[in-house]
Structure 1
Amino acid sequence: MNGYPVRVDATLDSDLSRWLWLVKWLLAIPHYFVLAFLWAAFVVLSVVAWVAILVTGRYPRAIFDFNVGVLRWSWRVAYYTYGGLGTDHYPPFSLEDRPDYPAHLEIEYPAHLSRGLALVKSWLLAIPHYLVIAFFLGTGLYVATSGDTDASRAWSGGLISLLVFVAAVVLLFTGAYPRPIFDLVLGLNRWVLRVAAYAGLMTDDYPPFRLDMGGTDPGTGVLTLSQPTAAAAAPPPVPQTTEPTTEPTTQPATPPTTQTEAGPPPGAPPPGPPARPPSRWGAGRIIAVIVGAVLAFTSLGMLAAGGLLRLADDGIRDSQGYLMSSDVEFTSPGYAATSPDVELRGGTPAVDVPERWLGTVKVEADGRTDAGVFIGIARTSDVESYLSGVARSTVRDPLGSDQNPRTDYTDGGAPKQAPQDQDIWVASADGQGQQTLTWKADEGNWTLVVMNDQGTRPVAADVSVGATIPILDDIAVGLLIAGLVGVVISAAVLIAALSRPHSGT
C-alpha cells in the first residue's frame, strides 16, 4: 500500500431518497445494538493486542482482522446514517469488506510494531489529533437555562453532524446531495478513522494533519490495495517474427476473441454475480468473540471490585473491626429520641441472615447535655409499651437534607420510670461521657432508644452505629473467585474463536 496505511473510500448514491434520512436513526437500531457488543469486544481485544505488541512486537492477526472489521462495520453504519447520509443501501451485518457496498475501509496489516510507541500512542501522542477530531465529532456544549423554571438544557454537536444536517435539508428540498459538502464530510471522517486506527495500535505511522477530501482516498495513492499497477494492467506486447506469412493477403484473419466478445449464445440465461468468497467471520465466530470479550470485561470488573472491596474493608474498619457510620444527632425536646422500627428477617436454620450480614452491632453515643446519656436496644413492641404517652422524637431520616436529620415529634408526658430500671433491653449502656453498647444481631423488629439516664428532658446526643458485617469478606472472596473463573473461561472462548484457521495472512 502506498501512502498512509489506512484507506477510506466512499461513493455517493445518485438516487438518494429525499425523506429516508428522517427515519434512518430508527432503521439503524439493530446495528447500534450489535455494535455495542462489538465495541466491548474491541476494547478487550485491544488490551490483549497491546500486551502482545509489548511482548512480541506484532499485532495478533486474528485480533487485527476482527478490530478492523469493527471499524469497517461502524464506518458503514455511520455513512448510512448521520455520519454521512451518502447511501440508502442498508449496511450489511458483516466484518468483511463488501465490494458492492459504497463505503469501504482497509488497513494494511503491519509486519512489525514498535513496543515503545505502544506505551504512548493512545494516551499521549494522539492528543493533538483528539483535540481536532473532538471538534469534528462534537465537543461544543451549549447550555440554556430557563428563567422561569431554572431548568437547564444542553446540546452538543460537531462539524460532521452539522454539515450532514445541512446536506440533509438540501436533499429534502432539491433531491440532490451537495457534492462539496460530501467531499468535505468524507475528508473529516477519513481523518477520524485514521486516528482511530492509530490509537487502536494498528499502525505506527502518525496520522497526517491533512484533510484529504473526496470519495476516493487521495492519501494512499490511486494504485493501492486490490488495484493493479500500470505495468500489470497493460496488455502483453505482441511478439515479432521474421518469417513471412504464407496466408493470402485478401483472406481476413479470424479474431481469436470473437466468441468471447459476442457474449453467450441466444437463449442462454444471463450470468449471475461473481461468487463471494466465504467469510472468515461468520455469525457464530463473531458471537463467540463477543461472548468471550464481554465475559472477560465482566470478570475483570469482578476482580477489580473484589480487590477494592477487600482493601476498603480492611482500611475503613475501626480498631475493633467495626464499620461505623458518621455521627448523627439524636435530639428531642421531649424525654426520648428513637430510631425507626428496624426489621431483621431470619434465614434458614443453616444460615442466620442477621448474624451473617450484620454480625455484632455497636452503638456509640456522646451526650451533649449535663445529664448522663442512656442508649438501649429493645424490641419495638416493648419500646412502644414503655414510651406510650411519653413526649419523644423519632429520627426518620438520619442524614436528611443539608445533613440535618428529619425527626417526627410526638407530644406527651414524662416516663413513669428511668430507662435503666426497665428489663426490656437486649443491650444498653448509660453514664457520663461517651457510652458504647454491643449487640449480636438477631431476627425481629428492633428500636434504638436514646434518653437521659434519669429520664429527664431535653435529649441531645451524637450517635454513631456500626457492625462487623462479616458478609463483606465473603462477597470480596466470591468476587475474586468468580472473576478468576470468568477470566479463564473467557480466555478459552477467545482463543478458540480467534485461532480458527482462516484464509489470508
Structure 2
Amino acid sequence: MNRFPLRVEARRDPSLSRGLWLVKWLLLIPHYVVLLVLWTGLVVLTLVAYLAVLFTGRYPASIRAYNLGVLRWSWRVGYYGYQALGTDRYPPFTLAEVPDYPARLHLETGAAPPRWLPLVAWLFAIPHLVFLGALTGAGTRQYGAPISAIGAALLIAGIALLFTGTYPRGLHDLLVGIARWNLRVAAYLTLLTPRYPPFRLDQGETEPDPPPEDPVKAPAPRGGSVVGSAIALVAGVLLLAPAAGTGIGGAVLLGLDASRDSTGFVTSRTLELSTGTAAVTAENLRITDAGVWTRNIADVGGVRVTATSPAGRSLFVGIAPESAVDAWLAGTAHDELIGIRSGDARYHRADGVTRPVTDPVAQPFWISSATGTGTTTLNWNVTDGDFAVVVANLDGSPGVAADVRGGIQVPDLTGLGAGLLTTGIVLGVIAIGLIVLGGVGLGRRHTEPPPPAAGPAGPAPQQVPPATVGS
C-alpha cells in the first residue's frame, strides 16, 4: 500500500457565498499576522530539529507537534482563503486538530528520520520545488499582470461563484491536489516524515489510499496557559529583525573597513566612460552637514577621483557648483552619467551642439581640479552644496574616454563594526532561545502524554483472619 504518512483532507461546503471570496483577504489579516510569527518559529525550530536528528537521531516530540500544528493551521487558512476557497467557515485560531472543520491534516506515526537526512533533504526536495514553482509561479502575462496556474484557477472559480453560485468540482479537486502536494513537500522538508513525497497530483477531497484500520487520533491539548509560550515566541520573532539588521550592519562595516587603503580611502571598481561629446558629467551631488563629520571624526570627508586615459591623452577632472557647470556647458552637447547597469555606464545626452568646450583649466569656478597625462587624480575635502564632477580632455576637444575610479575617506570602523556584529549575535542567540522556548512550550501542549510508569512491585498483601470474640 503506497500510503503517504501525511493525510490532507478537505470537505467542500455544499453551498458557498457568491461574493465572500472578494473580502476574505481582509478577514484573514489576523491569521496572516499570526502565521507570519508561527512560520518564523517553524523555520527556527526546524533548524533545531535538524541538529537534533543529526546528532541524536531523535526528533523532539514538542517540535514535531508545533510544526505539525503550523501546517494544520496554514491548511485551514488556505482552504478558507486563496488556496482553495473551499469553505466559508472561518478558521479557528489553534494549532490543534479541529475534527469538524472542513480542512483537516493528519500525520501517521512512523520511523524516526535517519541521521543523514537533514544534510540532503533540501537537496532531494528541489525537483518537487521546481514542479510546484511552475504551478504556483507566474506562467503567463495577460494585460501586463502575471498569472499563475493557481491564480487562474482561483479566478475562474471566483467568477463562477459570483455569477452562478456554484463552484466547479473539477477546479476544487485540482486546487486541493496542488495544496496536498505542497503540504507533503513541507512535511518532508521539516522532517515530520522521512518518506519521500510522491510525484503525484492526488486530486479530490480525500486521499486516494484508504486510511489505516486504526487511525491515530490527534492528542487533545493539555491544560495550562499558553500566554507565556506565546509571549516568548512573539518576542523572539520581533527580536530577530533588529538582531539580523545589527549583525549584518556590523559585518558590512567590517568589510568596508577591510577595504580601506593606507590613507583611509575606500575605492570603487573601475568604470569605463566614453562619449563622442566634449565632457562627461556626474551631477546632482548634494552634500549636507559635511562639517559635522569633518569636525568630529578624524580621517573622514575626503573624496578622490582617479581617471586614466586608455589612449594616454591628457585629461581634466574637476568639481564645481552644479549651476556653474550648467552655465559653462550651456548649448554644448555632453553626456550626463545617470546610473550603472551591469557594470556599464548609462548616460543622458544633454541637448546642444557637439563642439569643443572652452579651456577647462582656465575656468574660475572649480573648487578642486586636476590634470595629467595618462592618469589624473583629484582630491577634495567635501563641503556643503550641490556639485557636479566633470571629466574632459585637457584641450576641451570632443571624444572623451577614461577609466574612472571614485574613492571616499572613511574612519577606522573596526570597533564599531565589531561591536555591532557582537550585539547582533547576542540578540540573535536570545531571539532563537525565545523562539525555541515558546515553540516548544506550544508544541508540548499537543504531544502525546507519556504512559504512566508502573510502580515498584511489592509483596502481595496478606489477608487478615476475622477476629473471634470469646465469651
Same fold by TM-score, threshold 0.5 exceeded? yes
Q: Matched residues, percent identical?
A: 34
Of the candidates 215, 229, 254, which is equivalent to residue 224 of structure 1? 215
Alignment of 1:274-353 (within 5 A): 282=226, 285-286=229-230, 288-293=232-237, 295-296=239-240, 299-300=243-244, 303=247, 306-307=250-251, 310-311=254-255, 314=258, 321-324=265-268, 325-329=270-274, 332-333=277-278, 340=283, 342-346=285-289, 351-352=293-294
Distance change in 2, residues 1:368/1:286 (3 Å): same
Q: Which amino acid aligns with 2:347?
A: P
Distance change in 2, residues 1:435/1:133 (3 Å): closer
Distance change in 2, residues 1:286/1:432 (3 Å): same
Comparing 457-466 with 68-77, greater Cα deviation is found at: 457-466
The answer to whether the 8 A contact 2:12-2:205 is kept is no
Give the Cα separation in 2 of the matches to 1:389 and 1:320.
34
Q: Which residue of 1 aligns with 2:148?
A: 156
Q: Which amino acid aligns with 2:78?
A: A
Distance change in 2, residues 1:192/1:376 (3 Å): closer
Of the candidates 307, 319, 325, which is equivalent to residue 365 of structure 1? 307
Distance change in 2, residues 1:500/1:436 (3 Å): same
1:72 deviation in Å?
Answer: 0.7
Alignment of 1:144-293 (within 5 A): 152-158=144-150, 162=153, 186=176, 188-208=178-198, 211=202, 213-215=204-206, 218-226=209-217, 282=226, 285-286=229-230, 288-293=232-237
Q: Which amino acid aligns with 2:410?
A: P
1:157 deviation in Å?
Answer: 0.9
Q: Which residue of 2 aligns with 1:24?
A: 24
The answer to whether the 8 A contact 1:328-1:399 is kept is no
Gap runs ≥5 in structure 1: 145-150, 228-275
Q: Which residue of 2 aligns with 1:141?
A: 139
User: Could you report, residue by residue, the CA deviation over 1:223-249 in whole angstroms, capped at 9, with x for unpaired residues?
Assistant: 31239xxxxxxxxxxxxxxxxxxxxxx
User: Could you report, residue by residue, the CA deviation over 1:90-137 in whole angstroms, capped at 9, with x for unpaired residues?
Assistant: 11122222234232223246673211122112321x3454455556x4
Q: Which residue of 2 aligns with 1:89?
A: 89
Larger Rg: 1
Q: Which residue of 2 aligns with 1:397?
A: 337
Give the Cα separation in 1 of the matches to 2:360 and 2:336.
24
The answer to whether the 8 A contact 1:299-1:484 is kept is yes
Of the candidates 333, 355, 375, which is equivalent to residue 434 of structure 1? 375
Pair 1:488-2:429 in alignment: yes
Distance change in 2, residues 1:132/1:434 (3 Å): closer
Alignment of 1:389-468 (within 5 A): 396-397=336-337, 399=339, 403=345, 405-408=347-350, 419=361, 427-444=368-385, 446-450=387-391, 457-458=397-398, 460=400, 462=402, 464-468=404-408
Distance change in 2, residues 1:41/1:435 (3 Å): same
Q: State the secondary structure of the residue aligned to 1:223.
A: coil
Distance change in 2, residues 1:115/1:295 (3 Å): farther
The answer to whether the 8 A contact 1:184-1:214 is kept is no
Q: Which amino acid aligns with 1:154?
A: P
Give the Cα separation in 2 of the matches to 1:393 and 1:169.
57
Q: Which amino acid aligns with 1:196?
A: A
User: Could you report, residue by residue, the CA deviation over 1:271-303 in whole angstroms, capped at 9, with x for unpaired residues?
Assistant: xxxxx9567784663453244245336634654
Q: Give the TM-score taking structure 2 as reference length.
A: 0.72
1:319 deviation in Å?
Answer: 11
Q: State the secondary structure of the residue aligned to 1:405.
A: strand
Give the Cα separation in 1 of the matches to 2:171 and 2:362.
84
The answer to whether the 8 A contact 2:274-2:399 is kept is no
Give the Cα separation in 1 of the matches to 2:311 and 2:441.
77
Distance change in 2, residues 1:98/1:410 (3 Å): same
Q: State the secondary structure of the residue aligned to 2:42.
A: helix
RMSD: 4.8
The answer to whether the 8 A contact 1:41-1:294 is kept is no
- Greater relative contact order (Cα < 8 A, sep 6+): 2
Q: State the secondary structure of the residue aligned to 1:115.
A: coil
Give the Cα separation in 1 of the matches to 2:371 and 2:171.
81
Q: Which amino acid aligns with 1:362?
A: R
Distance change in 2, residues 1:110/1:409 (3 Å): same
Q: Which residue of 1 aligns with 2:317?
A: 375
Q: Which amino acid aligns with 1:460?
A: V
Q: State the secondary structure of the residue aligned to 2:371.
A: strand
Q: State the secondary structure of the residue aligned to 1:89.
A: coil
Give the Cα separation in 2 of the matches to 1:478 and 1:123.
36
Distance change in 2, residues 1:63/1:293 (3 Å): farther
1:494 deviation in Å?
Answer: 2.1
Q: State the secondary structure of the residue aligned to 2:215.
A: coil
Give the Cα separation in 2 of the matches to 1:115 and 1:161.
41
